[in-house]
Amino acid sequence: MQFIKTSLVFTLLFWSVCLIAQPLTRTDSSFYDVARTKISGITHWYPDEARGDTIKTGLAAFYFPNGNIKQRGYYNHGLADSLWTSYYLFGQVKSRVWYVQGRKQGSFEQYFEGGGLKYAGTYLNDSLNGAIRLYYPNGNIQEERSYSANRLNGPTTGYDIDGKLSFRMQYRDSLPDGPFEKYYPSGNIKETGSRQGQQFYGDYMAYYDNGQPEMRYTYQNFSIDGPYKVFYDDGSLKIACVYRQGRINGPYTKYFRSGQAEQKGNYADGNLSGTWEYYFENGQLYIEGNYVNNLPEGMWKVFHDNGEQKQLGKYKAGKAEGPWQFFHNNGKVRSQGNFEDNKQQGHWVHFHPNGIVQLDLYYTLGKLEGILTAYDTTGKILEQSEFIDNQLVRQIKGPSAR
């Protein structure tokens, strides 16, 4: 009996030692609600003698309130490890990412909710690294990028939704750096140039889809400097001028497609300056006047396309000032009066094309004031009214006269 008792004690002691040596695990469940009916996550834990604590290990799963899986993966000594997969609300895979000791390492993929691949690439120590591809929902490649240390470095190539080349650009530390090209859906070149961050440098060219140049100029010290030309899509010149340190300086000419000048004048440090002339496409002078610091100054003349005067008056610091006249295209006066600080002032008269007075009226700083009289083409009074502060106060003659 003593042997039996000894054996039983030894057996109990042996199993006690085995139980102590075997890691004690526990499963933790978290819930969305107090009643613990909607599970939100499950993790497994085991004791860590070195830390004197328990840490997560093994499979982990997290859920949406509707019970569908949200994310699943694996912990190793409290750190995310191996493949982790995330899901959309109704079960479609959202992403797959590989972890090693808590860091994203290796390939990853992200998907559209409809199921197609959205982008894919690789991580190195939690940072994007190497080639990354972005996709359209139809499966075509949207962009091909190069990363190092989580920043764009190297070439990036973009495509339109139909898979046609859209642009090429160089990056350094996630900023544009070097030559770039943009393309039309036809495959024809659209723009070429060079960038450093948000700045441009060197030669810039823009093209029409038919291959003809649209714009051509050069950057010096990140500012447009030198000849600046714009073209029509048939190759004919549209605008010709010169920039100095980012501002237009000197002669400026704009042309109609026919080659006839549309505008001629000068710029001084980016401002309209001196005499400017504007033309109809038939070559007839349309407008002639003077600018000072980008504002009209002095006498300005406007003509009808038949060469007859259309308007005549002076500006002071960009505002109409003094006597002005406006003309019908037969050369007869259409209206005349004075401006003060860009507002009609005093006595104004309007004329029918036959020269007979049409309206006789008065203004005070742009507001009708006093008696207004209207005449027919024979000079007969049609209507007469009184205004105070731009408001009709009395009709002396006419349909509403009393």
Whether 270 shows a pLDDT value over 60: the answer reads yes
Per-residue pLDDT, 17: 35
* 127 in a structural domain: no
* 375 in a structural domain: yes
Q: What is the pLDDT of residues 61-82, one digit of tens each?
A: 999 999 999 999 999 989 999 9
**Domain range enclosing 395:** 308-402
* 226 in a structural domain: no
* 129 in a structural domain: no
Share of the chain above pLDDT 90, in %: 84
Which is it for strands 53-56 and 58-63: parallel, antiparallel or unpaired? unpaired
Share of the chain above pLDDT 70, in %: 92
Asked if residue 335 lies in contact with residue 352, where contact means CB atoms within 8 angstroms, the answer is: no
* 329 in a structural domain: yes
Distance of alpha carbon 43 from the chain centroid: 46
* 282 in a structural domain: no
Q: What is the pLDDT of residues 162-180, one digit of tens each?
A: 999 999 999 999 999 999 9
Per-residue pLDDT, 289: 98
* 331 in a structural domain: yes
Least Cα distance to 169 among 182, 183, 150 occurs for 182
Whether 1 shows a pLDDT value over 50: the answer reads no
| Alpha-carbon span 122 to 109, nearest angstrom | 9
| Alpha-carbon span 266 to 45, nearest angstrom | 80
More confidently predicted of 43 and 268: 268
Question: Which residues, other chains included, contact 60 with Cβ-Cβ below 8 Å and sequence gap of 6+?
Answer: 41, 42, 43, 44, 72, 73, 74, 75
What CATH number is given to the structural domain containing 386?
2.20.110.10
Least Cα distance to 219 among 240, 205, 208 occurs for 205
10 Å CB burial of residue 242 (0-12, 13-18, 19+) is middle
| Alpha-carbon span 221 to 208, nearest angstrom | 27
Question: Which residues, other chains included, contact 44 with Cβ-Cβ below 8 Å and sequence gap of 6+?
Answer: 25, 26, 27, 28, 56, 57, 58, 59, 60, 75
Asked if residue 320 lies in contact with residue 302, where contact means CB atoms within 8 angstroms, the answer is: no
Distance of alpha carbon 94 from the chain centroid: 30
Q: What is the pLDDT of residues 345-395, one digit of tens each?
A: 999 999 999 999 999 999 999 999 999 999 999 999 999 999 999 999 999
Structural domains counted in the chain: 1
Q: What is the pLDDT of residues 327-336, one digit of tens each?
A: 999 999 999 9
pTM: 0.80
**Confidence grade of residue 12 (pLDDT, cut at 50, 70, 90):** very low
Q: What is the pLDDT of residues 212-256, one digit of tens each?
A: 999 999 999 999 999 999 999 999 999 999 999 999 999 999 999
DSSP string for residues in 168-224: EEEEETTEEEEEEEEE-TTS-EEEEEEEETTEEEEEEEEE-TTS-EEEEEEEETTEE
More confidently predicted of 37 and 307: 307
What is the amino acid identity at position 195?
R
* 366 in a structural domain: yes
**Confidence grade of residue 6 (pLDDT, cut at 50, 70, 90):** very low
